[in-house]
Structure 1
Amino acid sequence: MSEELAISEQVAVYRREFPDVDPQVETIVSTLSRLARRMSVAYGRHLTDLGISQADWEVLKALIVAGSPYRLGPSDLAKRIGLTPAAMTHRVDRMEAAGLVTRTRDEKNRVRVNIGLTELGREKWLESMRMAAVFEESLLQDADAEQRAQLAGALGQMLRRVEQDQPDALGRCDDLD
């Protein structure tokens, strides 16, 4: 396996091959891309340590975000996560077997099923958040409050621009396969 180039070396190669590239912009974007990959690996390791997957975490998060009583119908859950109903069913089957979620009939409409968060699922989510908070704080330990605010503002602007220019992306790359 070859070593990854330093960002400055990577940008130098880009400039050699495509002289019109803005080195400052490319440095920022390449750094963000590399940071996102490294963070994704770190989060994945944390979740593995907890015995859950990134896919499990997405479901747990969607149920937490829905608020108490932490239940959603399968189609609502699938939409929030960006999955097909069939993929959601498979994921919920696996998570139910692991004790992370439950399936119950809706009390008002017995045809409807709700996916609910179990105490174990909530504990796994909370522990993942504790681990993430420690990790994320360590990432930003060298930045003071003003620098953090500036970074948050700049990244927010970039995110809004991507969402404006690519409104159907929603963070998924399924259409790029």
Structure 2
Amino acid sequence: MRDPQEPPQELAISEQVAVYQREFPNVDPQVETIVSTLSRLARRMSVAYSRHLTDLGISQADWEVMKALIVAGSPYRLGPGELARRIGLTPAAMTHRVDRMTTAGLVTRSRDESNRVRVNIELTELGREKWLESMRMAAVFEEALLQDADPGARADLAGALGRMLRRVEEHQPDALGRCDDLA
């Protein structure tokens, strides 16, 4: 008998698919196995990445801002409106996030020299170091995750997953109606 204080265990994927087949006999068990596995993998990877970021003293939200600034390229600077748009936040939510990150020394906020009305958000050296360390940690984790796949299998998997993602993006935009931010 299970202890009521103990969290319930997830079913094995094969058991989950068997339940789906029992309740909905038309389900393709191979497709459901793939999709269920991808879903569980994404959740578990998200937990692992969050732990890595916590070890660095940053949040997933911080990392998203740092990523947007890195993607913008050197000098890793964007206006708050553009930064909010790239991340999919409201300007108010972006202001709150930037305030917190400025206090932590991850970004700076300064007036644009060419347009004193405009404000720039720029990644600090500490922010860049934290982002790079998070990438190093992720690279080790991801390499271990894919250790059983040779380069050919990795290329095939990347191609198949990329095609699946494009199909979802074409028909299921994110919460703000965007598809273009998922490269």
Same fold by TM-score greater than 0.5: yes
| 1:127 lines up with 2:133 in the alignment | yes
2:61 aligns to what? Answer: 55
SS state of the match for residue 116, structure 2?
coil
SS at match of 2:117: coil
Aligned to 1:14: 20
Deviation at residue 167 of structure 1 after TM alignment: 3.1
CA distance in structure 1 between the partners assigned to 2:14 and 2:145 by the alignment: 21
What are the superposed Cα offsets for residues 133-173 of structure 1, whole Å, 9 maximum, x if unpaired?
A: 0000000001111110110011001000000111345799x
Q: State how far apart, in whole Å, the 2-side matches of 1:113 and 1:57 are.
A: 21
Unaligned runs of 5+ in 1: 173-177
Counterpart-to-counterpart distance in 2, 1:140 and 1:66? 29
Alignment map for 1:73-88 (pairs within 5 Å): 73-88=79-94
Do the aligned partners of residues 154 and 169 (structure 1) sit closer, same or farther apart at CA in structure 2, a change above 3 Å counting?
farther
Among residues 106, 109, 124, which one is paired with 1:100 in the alignment?
106
Number of the residue aligned with 2:172? 166
Aligned CA RMSD, in angstroms, stands at 1.3
- Aligned in 2, Cα 1:48/1:72: closer, same or farther, shift over 3 Å? same
**Where does residue 181 of structure 2 map in the other structure?**
none
Segments of structure 2 that go 5 or more residues without pairing to the other structure are: 1-6, 179-183
Equivalence for 1:66: 72
TM-score normalised to the size of structure 2?
0.92
1:148 aligns with 2:179: no
> TM-score w.r.t. structure 1 length?
0.95
Residue identity (%): 87
Runs of 4+ in 1 over 2 A off after TM superposition: 167-172
